[in-house]
């Protein structure tokens, strides 16, 4: 019951989060807002820090090859916490598929759009 409630809360909060521009500390122009790409991999670390939270994801590459680390930028922990996000939202070792607005220069980083866990739980706007 509790996990269902949390899942519902995350979905609701995710919609709220996605509706706002969360790159508040600096210009977001390095990200291509018109492009959304998908990464699947394992959470390495969730940096719940100011001025921005960062999700480090070890993304799957080709079978047999080492995963590649991506840096996914999000809002400030202050904003995110008021919208229901917690340091435990992205636990290290969890499998996840993330949608991001990638950096325009092709670097392994992007701006957070949404995430879907293996149990179907969604954070952000997954459409």
Q: Which residues bind other proteins (CB under 8 A)?
A: 21, 24-30, 47, 49-52, 54, 56, 69, 71, 73, 76-79, 81-82, 103, 105, 107-109
Q: List, in order, residues 6 or more apart from 32 with CB less than 8 Å away.
A: 101, 102, 103, 104
From the CB of 101, what's the least distance to other proteins, in Å?
Answer: 13
Q: Which lies closer to other proteins via its Cβ, residue 73 or residue 121?
A: 73
From the CB of 125, what's the least distance to other proteins, in Å?
Answer: 19
Q: Which lies closer to other proteins via its Cβ, residue 41 or residue 77?
A: 77
Q: Which lies closer to other proteins via its Cβ, residue 92 or residue 118?
A: 92
CB 53 within 8 A of CB 75: yes
From the CB of 119, what's the least distance to other proteins, in Å?
Answer: 27
Range list of β-strands (E), the chain = 37-47, 54-59, 68-73, 95-102, 109-117, 122-124
From the CB of 122, what's the least distance to other proteins, in Å?
Answer: 24
CB 111 within 8 A of CB 92: no
Q: Which lies closer to other proteins via its Cβ, residue 1 or residue 27?
A: 27
Written as six digits, the tokens of 112 are 């957070």
Q: Quick one: which of 34, 11, 25, 22 has its CA closest to 116?
A: 11
């Amino acid at each position: 019951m509790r996990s269902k409630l949390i899942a519902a809360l995350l979905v609701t909060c995710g919609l709220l989060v996605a509706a706002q521009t969360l790159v508040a500390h600096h210009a977001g122009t390095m990200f291509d807002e018109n492009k959304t790409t998908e990464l699947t991999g394992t959470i390495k670390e969730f940096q719940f820090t100011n001025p921005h939270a960062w999700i480090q994801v070890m993304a799957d590459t080709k079978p047999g090859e080492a995963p590649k680390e991506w840096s996914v930028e999000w809002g400030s922990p202050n904003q995110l916490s008021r919208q229901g996000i917690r340091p435990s939202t992205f636990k290290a070792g969890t499998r996840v598929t993330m949608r991001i607005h990638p950096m325009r220069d092709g670097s392994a980083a992007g701006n957070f759009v949404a995430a879907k866990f293996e149990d179907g739980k969604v954070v952000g706007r997954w459409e």
